[in-house]
Amino acid sequence: MKTKAKTRRTKTKQPISVITGGAGFLGSHLTDLLIARGHKVIAIDNFVTGSVDNISHLAGNPNFKFIQQDVTEFLFLQEAVDYVWHFASPASPIDYLELPIQTLKVGSLGTHKALGLAKHKGAKFLLASTSEIYGDPLVHPQREDYWGNVNTIGPRGCYDESKRFGEALVMAYHREHRIDTKIVRIFNTYGPRMRLNDGRVVPAFISQALRNKPVTIFGEGTQTRSFCYCSDLIEGIFRLMMSETNEPVNIGNPNEMTMLQFAREIINATGSRSRIVHKPLPQDDPKQRKPDIGRAKQILKWEPKVQLAEGLVNTIEYFRQKI
């Protein structure tokens, strides 16, 4: 079976990519990049957190096919497949607090089904993992060899542990079935197509500022994040899939700032009259988040290029049209 799948691939002139979560924020941007680089893309999504608006511009494109399906169910495709990109998952605190079981299922059963597809087709596989596997880190910045500090039974555990299990499953398939697998650990990313009410800090701050409502900071605002523009992130992920490495790789922007600094940046960028208000810090909210991207620089020759001010212009304009 595996030999036949590989034979089919060598005869395929145009690479074929399957993207689970293809109607999501990052999945849709990845779809655009792959089509621009000559791939045919088969996107799979059940619209739990994805949106048809993110892929509507691809209607009628002969290099795009969409399947509405829950990826925790059996994935059957007649086509040869060269690459499987597993992006399906709720990815914001609001989503995985409201959908803890679905979050756990897509990270476990969904990853299993996506790996099964890659195994059957003889395809390369990439897991969209997350910086959340580091939990509330005791090491700063976070390197790929850090094992993390995660509360397995806390409210964020459903997301953190589903991704950690997903990484373990990917490596098991790599070792036992010799699948060429990749793991990207995605740090905070922003850009157009984020959902206005998804609860993450960028859409939350921008939507509040555009409405001249109070910008909400949790705690004193001293917790830090680093923000990578979506086009930079997707380029890094593409390079990872095309690389020879099977080790996890951090992709993100190492320029760290406090939430208070970021709130002021958003208020200035939007020209808002908003004031900053403070609310209690949620349980297990990471105090620091900054990627060490040394491995990405060395192996992928990648580092972010888009400055925060530039990325915010595009993102704010997108949200202006949504409000």
Q: Which of 96, 134, 159, 173 does the annotation list as catalytic? A: 159
- Concerning whether 159 is annotated as a catalytic residue, the answer is yes
**What are the phi and psi torsion angles at 14 (to 5°)?**
-95, 125
Active site residues: 159
